[in-house]
Chain A
């Protein structure tokens, strides 16, 4: 086979990694894998864990299917692929429950939904069935990274604007308790409870709680697509 004589990171192989990040992004261009993803983009931490879990599942299933590609009977290939993906997801789920219990609670059913993440099945059908394991592995990394990139970007904006935090740390200053107008005559102990705001909040900035609700995930993605297509005009739909 000619492809095995190529250097590991030939130009063609590098494109497998870089294409899905922009020109062929699985979320914003191929419209795959949005389903299970957006509900966990309220905070950065679960989004990052989700991205890593998807990276693992896409790469491992791509390599497995690619290794088995000459053995799988074509009539039952979809169910075989589903079986492989489902078992990998079960492995992720079980390991998370045992070693990262807090995260597994946050992701709840959405770990299971990686199975039906269209990126996974899409890459298996479109790529892994016809390519060698190394190329399938790179393709998996590229696509999962393109997916994770959008996921983390959305989560970044939602957590920052919605709750003024990143990874649960307050980055825009501390939001003190709202001081009611009739609180002037308070005794000292009560006044201490009303700790004052710092940072941006001291200037009157407020969190936009709306960013935390599900509709804003969709609108954020919509705006990201807008920005991307504005820069990269060949992606514009006619």
Chain B
């Protein structure tokens, strides 16, 4: 039940784009057509649902205070030699993410060259997509109790991001036929539409299952 709750919450309520503005750079840059944005969204789902659980294990067994107690009980919480490596978490998380992205890039290039061409330079940029690192940092902050919960959070966040980018891409495809004031064209109107969509998503807040 908790798993479903986390999953639904991370898609609709704690939506990466609408609630935290994470991953906005690629969100704005890749959302011109539905097709590419769906590819980008899928890549984000994939990377998030891999990196969040991996970083969860890393946090649980290496980084957090006393996490190394499986090596030697003397390193546990409260004992004299307690080891706290949590100051390294930024570096460790980003290293895991960068290598996972590299892997995804190679897989996509090998098995889906068309998609690879469409995504162009944006795939390497996933490494510096705030949504990915944000996923891991929120995971650390939320202190999930097991790996399944962290996976559910990663997957849900990814799907939430996917929904957001596909929806905005669909709107942007239509809006090229509308008469938008000149200075507002492109970026400006995209921001405002995203704001309006976020208002819609706010109606989900407070839902618990």
Contact = CB atoms under 8 A, between A and B. Distances in A.
Any A–B CB pair closer than 8 Å: yes
B203 to A, nearest CB: 11
Interface string B58-89: 00000000000000000000000000000111
A89 B90 CA distance: 8
**Secondary structure of the A contact surface, majority rule:** helix
Contacts of B125: 118
B183 A78 contact: no
B174 to A, nearest CB: 17
Contact of B124 (A35, A78, A113, A215): A78
Interface in B158-205: 181-192, 194-196, 198-199, 202
Contacts of B198: 214-215, 218
A34 interface: yes
Interface string B125-147: 10111111110011001000000
B98 A37 contact: no
A235 to B, nearest CB: 8
A197 B186 CA distance: 43
Contacts of A139: none
Interface string A11-37: 000000000000000001001111111
Interface stretch (B1-9, B21-29, B44-52, B111-119): B21-29
A159 interface: no
Interface residues of B, number: 49
B19 interface: yes
Nearest to A90: B90
Nearest to B23: A35
A141 interface: no
Contacts of B192: 218-219, 222-223
Interface in A78-92: 78-79, 82-83, 86-87, 89-90
A121 B188 contact: no
Given A121-B128, A236-B183, A78 B137 contact: no
A132 to B, nearest CB: 25
Contacts of B94: 82, 86, 115-116
A40 B175 CA distance: 30
Contacts of B132: 116
Contact of B195 (A28, A32, A117, A222): A222
Given A215-B18, A225-B191, A93 B186 contact: no
Contacts of A94: 87
Contacts of B209: none
B183 A38 contact: no
B90 A28 contact: no
Nearest to A218: B195
B96 to A, nearest CB: 11
B95 interface: yes
B149 to A, nearest CB: 18
Most buried by B among A87, A94, A216, A236: A236
Nearest to A221: B191
A58 B193 CA distance: 30
A34 B24 contact: yes
A32 B133 contact: no
A90 B90 CA distance: 7
A67 to B, nearest CB: 20
A69 interface: no
Contacts of A167: none
B191 to A, nearest CB: 3
A108 B141 contact: yes
Contact of A112 (B24, B90, B124, B186): B90
Interface stretch (A43-51, A188-196, A198-206, A226-234): A226-234
B91 A87 contact: yes
B63 to A, nearest CB: 12
Contact of B98 (A35, A82, A112, A237): A82
